[in-house]
Amino acid sequence: MLEIRWHGRGGQGAVTSVELLAMAAIDEGKFAQGFPSFGPERRGAPVEAFNRVDTKQIKIRSRIYNPDVSVVLDESQIGPAVVAGLKPSGTLIVNTAKKAGEVRDLLKKKNAGFDGKIATVDATGIAWSELGVPITNTTMLGALLKVTNVVKLAALKEPVEHRFGRIAQKNLKALKRAYDEVKLS
């Protein structure tokens, strides 16, 4: 089972990301969960969301404490929370123009060392370019797919078209660019 924890801020699309990924996984014949964890937060407040994807039925019904992957939609959230419980062999995927080494140094500065893999992608830059807004949900999905192969890129087409309607093609283009541009080290 692949367990993914998403870190974002209200309004950035973390909840939409988990829903889209779960739908794509189910369309591929897998079992999936996608759910948020937040209280009365408002736009801009920190939000966590979670995915589980497996080829077998998923019987766990709790938040994810030890994810395989942690996805960070907002670079300002880099710190202890985004690597808390992340498996030593896990992967941190960050929306940033920084290189992986710079992210690792920033984590160390914040007493949040992490020795696993780090992937970076300038999802905000891609979102501005392709969508005209800094909403990074579909871009970060593209990065996640490239790094994990959790579902095929084509599996997101129908869920994205259903969710975004007339702006779906822009979102699919942003997703593909992030898929192509993510760097893993």
pTM to 2 decimal places? 0.95
Residue 62: predicted pLDDT: 92
Range of the domain at 158: 2-184
Residue 112: predicted pLDDT: 87
Residue 73 has pLDDT above 70, yes or no: yes
CATH code (residue 46): 3.40.920.10
User: Over the stretch 86-101, which tens digit does the pLDDT of each residue have?
Assistant: 999 999 999 999 999 9
Residue 146: predicted pLDDT: 98
Residue 39 has pLDDT above 70, yes or no: no
Closest by Cα among 174, 140, 133 to 4: 140
User: Over the stretch 127-179, which tens digit does the pLDDT of each residue have?
Assistant: 999 999 999 999 999 999 999 999 999 999 999 999 999 999 999 999 999 99
Amino acid at 55: T
Please state, in angstroms and rounded to a whole number, the distance separating the CA atoms of residues 4 and 39: 20
Strands (E), 13-130: 31-37, 46-54, 69-72, 91-95, 117-121
Phi, psi of 50 (to 5 degrees): -140, 150
Domain count, the chain: 1
